Amino acid sequence: MTAKFNRMDPGKRYLITGAAGFIGYHLAKKLAAQGAQIVGYDSVNDYYDVNLKYARLDELKSFSNFRFVKGDLADASAVNALFDEYRPEIVVNLAAQAGVRYSLTNPQAYIQSNIIGFFNILEACRNWPVEHLIYASSSSVYGQQEKTPFSTDDKVDEPVSLYAATKKSNELLAYSYAHLFDIPATGLRFFTVYGPFGRPDMAAFIFTRKIFNDEPIQIFNHGDMYRDFTYVDDIVQGIENMLCNPPKPNVKGDRAKVYNIGNNRPEKLMDFIETLERHIGKTARKEFLPMQAGDVYQTYADVDELYADFGFRPNTSVDFGLKKFVEWYRGYYNV
């Protein structure tokens, strides 16, 4: 039996933070194309190439129903002014300091963006009540867990990176605000997202750039790793399904929920690389290294709840997804 849920309502006012980012751009573009009123918010920081972020924004600004506001989530007065002016009915908080490895060298950025910034979003949702808050969590919260697939019912109290700790903290903060102030909140644990206009610090992008430049790619844990690589269109579809469907009260009356969104088919890292080589038409030079601090052996999403509630599970193959990514990369970088 297919789950029944409300479709995206283009008549609502949507706020998407991190709109210049990878997932935020794709979500904003799809919703704007359907006529929704979108406000995008982003600091456009220099964690990676800002030209890529501005290229995404240039595409979004072609929609008359898209408005962009530049600002920092850690600036409470700016966030409050944003909510006061635009009064969003649905908020999708995708802005965050991303990256497991960067958290080892610049921890302050994660506290400012992922803790203080998220707190400011929650306070704004409290003071300017919203119909639904959707926020990005991460598969990193599962740490070195050996049980697979990873379920949202699993205990996730042993993060192996500061990034993972901040994402788990977001889930705890969101639950407390749902309980105290009746803010309907849905957290999404994303699993290794890739695709066109992707982040340059992610594996698909790093490997592709280095293969084209004839530079060696670094393969950690000597290639013995598994990842639940998830194509960005599947992530966007999952979010779209949820927008107008805030969580129903649980047994305690709290409207808070967390879902996994992953391809639920872990890929061997070496198979991923071989598929990428095939679409590029070139063999990578490989440098095999030990496991990095903060990294995990495998990720594997249990998406049964996602399917039960929304009749949807990500299903884009890595072969198709990497083909689309390489096609975009060739066009964008003219290689």
Catalytic residue among 47, 163, 231, 329: 163
Rounded Cα distance, 287 and 100, in Å: 21
Catalytic residue at 163?
yes
**Cα–Cα distance for residue pair 20/328, rounded to 1 Å:** 17
Ramachandran category for residue 88: left, alpha or beta (phi over 0 → left; psi -120 to 50 → alpha): beta
- What is d(CA 279, CA 258) in angstroms, rounded to the nearest whole number? 35
Say how many residues make up the chain: 335
CA distances from 23 to 27, 119, 133, 196, 230 (A): 6, 21, 16, 10, 12
CA distance linking residue 257 with residue 83, whole number of Å:
23
> Strand (E) positions, the chain?
13-17, 37-42, 66-70, 90-93, 132-138, 185-190, 193-194, 217-220, 226-227, 230-231, 256-261, 267-268, 286-289
- Nearest C-alpha neighbor of 19 from the set 194, 136, 138: 136
Q: Which sequence positions are flagged as catalytic? A: 163
